[in-house]
């Protein structure tokens, strides 16, 4: 017999939370979406989650898609996927711990690696799955969610082993039209994505440039490479190798010289054709900066710098990026 999928719940009704919940419900998988009271009110007024772009769905509330605003209303024994951004995760975890029945497992799809530490501390390492996504989505002013790309999503055990629950979770998401794999090296996936985020977020925010254009600038490519090399060195000390994954082939980047990467990114940028009417390709942190929202500076840069310090790994570029991004973070304490 195959693995049995527990009831699924998604915490957070931002762009990723709505995308996951709507896709799962549209596939026939029952899912509970935990939203803040404000988001729940807006969704109830709309009567449905509306996605367009790479996912074209209008999924009414009710039926397979259950919307709640209290953690106590989550189904007992659920597999719970946390989708709030890194700086919002601790509050979301505390809410679920205080109000929800014991989950079967939990997973977080935030950028960075500290998410897994927070979840394991709150729910126990034995209940925590690693998870990574590069599904791209953004909420629009009319309440719809624009899905730029279905990307790729991964589930796996933090012990870097296979399991029925990771396989079942991946199968449920894949059946919902979200390309998803269960992997036995989730820490490699997580740290490889962390490398890409640490490099790309800094150069796009500090360079005020879209992610599909930074390759035109050798200086930004070299800065990107310096940041991912430092991040990879922190992972290496922990025995975690880098890998190649769709959207972030970090092992390949690290295996080339900076000059070779400058040439590769320049060729890619030159061949990229803008789609008329399509929004600019911006990293999530750059979107937050432009919108005046708090950025995930501490969950990404603050955390990896602290890890480097604890492990005795010099990370001067990451430290500089942390300090510069702290200074321009709309969410910084005044």
Give the pLDDT confidence of 100-116 residue by residue, as tens digits. Answer: 778 999 999 999 999 99
What whole-number distance in Å separates Cα of residue 174 and Cα of residue 329? Answer: 35
Q: Please tell me whether residues 171 and 195 are part of one structural domain.
A: no
Q: Please tell me whether residues 98 and 134 are part of one structural domain.
A: yes
Residues of the chain with pLDDT under 50: 1-2
Q: Are 51 and 18 in contact (CB under 8 A)?
A: yes
- 1 lies in some domain: no
- 334 lies in some domain: no
Tell me what pLDDT residue 138 has.
Answer: 87
Could you tell me which residues are beta bridge partners of residue 133? Answer: 153
Q: Please tell me whether residues 161 and 40 are part of one structural domain.
A: yes
Q: Please tell me whether residues 166 and 201 are part of one structural domain.
A: no
Q: Are 236 and 313 in contact (CB under 8 A)?
A: no
Tell me what pLDDT residue 221 has.
Answer: 97
Tell me what pLDDT residue 6 has.
Answer: 86
How many Cβ atoms are within 10 Å of 126's Cβ, its own excluded? Answer: 10
Domain count, the chain: 2
Domain that includes residue 65, residue range: 8-184
What whole-number distance in Å separates Cα of residue 189 and Cα of residue 185? Answer: 7
pLDDT tens sequence across 206-260: 999 998 889 999 999 999 999 999 999 999 999 999 999 998 999 999 999 999 9
Tell me what pLDDT residue 280 has.
Answer: 66
- 127 lies in some domain: yes
58 burial type by CB count under 10 A (0-12 exposed, 13-18 middle, 19+ buried)? middle
- Whole-prediction pTM value? 0.92
- Where does a domain end: 141, 157, 184? 184
CA-CA-CA-CA torsion sign (245, 216, 319, 94)? negative
- Where does a domain end: 125, 153, 184? 184
What whole-number distance in Å separates Cα of residue 85 and Cα of residue 320? Answer: 22
Tell me what pLDDT residue 332 has.
Answer: 86
- Where does a domain end: 124, 159, 184? 184
């Amino acid at each position: 017999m195959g693995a049995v999928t527990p009831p699924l719940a998604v915490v957070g009704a931002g762009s990723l939370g709505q995308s996951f919940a709507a896709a799962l419900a549209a596939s026939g998988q029952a899912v509970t979406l935990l939203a803040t009271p404000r988001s729940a009110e807006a969704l109830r007024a709309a009567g449905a989650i509306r996605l367009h772009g790479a996912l074209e769905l209008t999924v009414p509330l009710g039926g397979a898609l259950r919307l709640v605003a209290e953690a106590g209303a989550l189904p007992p024994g659920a597999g719970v996927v946390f989708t709030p951004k890194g700086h919002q995760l601790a509050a979301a975890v505390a809410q679920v711990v205080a109000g929800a029945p014991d989950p079967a497992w939990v997973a977080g799809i935030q950028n960075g690696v500290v998410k897994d530490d927070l979840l394991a501390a709150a729910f126990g390492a034995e209940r925590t799955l690693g998870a990574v996504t590069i599904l791209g989505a953004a909420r629009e002013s009319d309440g719809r969610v624009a899905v730029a790309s279905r990307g790729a999503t991964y589930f796996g055990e933090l012990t870097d082993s296979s399991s029925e629950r990771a396989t079942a979770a991946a199968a449920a998401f894949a059946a919902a039209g979200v390309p998803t794999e269960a992997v036995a090296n989730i820490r490699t996936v997580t740290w490889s994505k962390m490398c890409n985020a640490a490099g790309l977020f800094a150069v796009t925010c500090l360079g005020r440039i879209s992610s599909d254009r930074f390759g035109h600038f050798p200086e930004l490519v070299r800065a990107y490479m310096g940041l991912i090399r430092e991040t990879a060195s922190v992972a290496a000390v922990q025995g975690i190798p880098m890998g190649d994954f769709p959207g972030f082939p970090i092992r390949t980047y690290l295996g080339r010289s900076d000059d070779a990467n400058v040439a590769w990114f320049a060729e890619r940028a030159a061949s990229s054709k803008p789609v008329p009417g399509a929004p600019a390709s911006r990293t999530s942190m750059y979107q937050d900066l432009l919108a005046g929202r708090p950025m995930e500076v501490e969950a990404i840069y603050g955390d990896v710098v602290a890890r480097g310090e604890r492990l005795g790994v010099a990370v001067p570029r990451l430290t500089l990026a942390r300090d510069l991004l702290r200074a321009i973070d709309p969410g910084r304490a005044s």
